[in-house]
Amino acid sequence: MKQLSAKLLVTIFAAAISCSVFAQEKTTQAFWVHEDRVMPSMVAEYEKATKELSDQCKKHNIQTLAWIAAQTDDFRYLFISPIDSLSDISKANKGFSTLREKMGEDTFDKLFDDMDDCYTAHGDYVIVLDKSLSYMPGGITQTPEGQDYRRFFYLHTTPAQMAGMKEGMKAVKKMFEEKGSKTHYRVYRSAFGTMGSFYMVAVAAKDGTTFEMNSEANDKLLGPEAQAVFGKVLKHVTKMEEITGEMRSDLAYTPQ
């Protein structure tokens, strides 16, 4: 992770007004995501530095920073923070400035330099959780207890077909509700800073074996008629990605 550049902050302030609608929509929640694409040979060094960052935030109880962390099998690390508008990102960066003062400039800068040595690319963007499309009957949470395994389905589409895909996802949720499915999921959509348009479906499970067993049981529950319902979504998909990952509570941070 690294502080946003001044140029990016200018862009963020310019877009803050348009993004403030996130806070007004009761069925959505925006999240700032910082993504690091780590070299496989540098994972141990990267995690050491990232864990140190989390520990330093805890030590100094930085109040304007908070994130959950996820790791994918293709060595991407995602740090996810809820925001009400893009201006909240600037508040978070003030938290990093506070941490730099408390840690000491040299120590802080070396920590981020160590991270820089570990990845080939990194960046920031916003995604939006759409609660109206998500299916979690017991209440929506990003971190269901005992279910750190993740399967992410990225459904890429065109801007013109986003509305049609949304309607298809409404039909899928209705089917899951009517069948009483035990497979729960959350739906996110692309927003500020992402390249391309997509919906992302996140499914949690205890582990990979449990996910596959649950998936098989769900297919049987939904029955063959589910093909037509899923087809309402798939007809809008230009590309699909299925990515495995896990939540990393040891790399997360929540202030006291």
Token pair for 234: 């798939």
81 part of a folded domain: yes
Q: Domain with 171 in it: what CATH number? A: 3.30.70.100
User: φ and ψ at 186, to 5 degrees?
Assistant: -120, 145
> Looking at the structure, do residues 222 and 239 belong to the same domain, yes or no?
yes
Residue 256 resides in a domain: no
Same domain, 139 and 98: no
Q: Does some domain include residue 174?
A: yes
In terms of domains, do 57 and 149 share one? no
Cα separation, 104 vs 12, in Å, equals 28
Inside any domain, residue 202? yes
Task: Evaluate whether 134 touches 140 at the Cβ level (below 8 Å).
Answer: yes
Both 109 and 189 in one domain: the answer is: no
Report d(CA 90, CA 236) in Å as an integer: 36
What pTM did the predictor assign? Answer: 0.87
Q: Is residue 1 part of a domain?
A: no
Residues 64 and 159 reside in one and the same domain: no
At residue 1, the pLDDT reads 53
116 and 65 together in one domain: yes
Domain that holds residue 121: 6-126+247-251
Per-residue pLDDT of the chain in tens (256 residues, 90 and over written 9): 544 433 333 333 333 333 444 444 489 999 999 999 999 999 999 999 999 999 999 999 999 999 999 999 999 999 999 999 888 888 888 899 999 999 999 999 999 999 999 999 999 999 999 999 999 999 999 999 999 999 999 999 999 999 999 999 999 999 999 999 999 999 999 999 999 999 999 999 999 999 999 999 999 999 999 999 999 999 999 999 999 999 999 999 999 8
Under 8 Å between Cβ of 112 and 2: yes
Same domain, 240 and 133: yes
Residue 92 has a pLDDT of 84
Residue 194 included in any domain: yes
110 and 197 within one domain: no
The number of domains in the chain is: 2
Looking at the structure, do residues 136 and 239 belong to the same domain, yes or no? yes
**Quick one: 159 and 78 in the same domain?**
no
163 and 121 in one domain? no
How many CB atoms are located within 10 Å of the residue 211 CB?
19
- The answer to the question of residue 201 being in a domain is yes
Residues 39 and 113 in one domain: yes
